[in-house]
Structure 1
């Protein structure tokens, strides 16, 4: 195995561990016992850009449509956002931030106890630029990576079907 191969294996493990740990820890955080970090992303988007459709929010936040719906349902239940239907298109549902949601985001912005950028402590500006460039390249590589995995999965499924068919064909004899 080459040095590059060893580095790629180690980087693959470290990358997966980093993502799993980030998501697991992110999902444990509840501010005021009800507002999760993904919910804050939705509130921030509505605060900055105004009312939006759930599909637009999903696309711009990189959450699935199902996850966005769940987040929005919880935000509606908590009184942080509300839904409306425009008179000219009753099929459309727009999500709006409430005064409670605005007040929460203002309060959150004023909190100095947490530095959301502390994950990047110790990085010089040049390193941050490099990390940003590397992150963008990884995101760009994700589509071909997952397309390749989907292709492999389909190939293996077809092979398994053929194997099962030949096995059941042999059993009938």
Structure 2
């Protein structure tokens, strides 16, 4: 392909756009993380609690697949959450040899407090945007969510 080929230009344009999106998403993720209390759970443990809160009970192996970590790492995270009273282990009703992990009321409260704190910062920051910019940001968030599922 030549340098003047529209396909080459389009590919370069998409690559540049991807780099810009990645940079913006990463900077926002770091900023949102900075809004967490220093004594909070690790990001991995909070992600597991959030998944249990959103998706319901799951096996340790199911959580490992969903969070893209090794089963051994997930077992350690789950054990920590159970020890802290944020999750509990119960027999799997479909397979008595297996166990499912559920979030406790205390775990649910912890997730909600963490979300509330970070969403309060984001809502305040978004007040500096115009109505059109806020609408575009919501649309972009929906598109990013779709990309995350691909």
Aligned residues of 1:81 and 1:98 also touching (Cα < 8 A): yes
| TM-score for both structures, normalised by structure 1 | 0.52
Which residue is equivalent to 1:118?
122
3-state SS, counterpart of residue 97 of structure 2: coil
Please give the residue correspondences for 1:9-24 in structure 2 after superposition, counting only pairs within 5 Å: 9-18=15-24, 20-21=26-27
1:72 is the counterpart of 2:78: yes
Q: CA deviation at 1:33?
A: 1.6
3-state SS, counterpart of residue 35 of structure 1: coil
Computed over aligned residues only, the root mean square deviation of the Cα atoms, in angstroms, reads: 4.0
Distance 1:129 1:38 in 2: 27
- From the superposition, tell whether residues 13 and 39 of structure 1 become closer, same or farther in structure 2 (CA, over 3 Å): same
Distance 1:107 1:93 in 2: 28
**2:50 maps to which of 44, 48, 52:** 44
Aligned residues of 1:29 and 1:36 also touching (Cα < 8 A): no
| TM-score for both structures, normalised by structure 2 | 0.57
Q: CA deviation at 1:81?
A: 1.0
**1:128 maps to which of 129, 134, 138:** 138
Greater RCO (CA < 8 Å, at least 6 residues apart) = 2
Q: Which structure would you say has the larger Rg? A: 1
Q: Give the gaps of 5 or more residues in structure 1.
A: 143-173
Distance 2:12 2:45 in 1: 39
Distance 1:133 1:49 in 2: 21
Deviation digits for residues 92-139 of structure 1 (CA, Å, limit 9, x no counterpart): 121022343234245446x5x532682883333255235523652x44
- From the superposition, tell whether residues 116 and 74 of structure 1 become closer, same or farther in structure 2 (CA, over 3 Å): farther
3-state SS, counterpart of residue 93 of structure 1: strand
Q: Give the gaps of 5 or more residues in structure 2.
A: none
3-state SS, counterpart of residue 67 of structure 2: coil
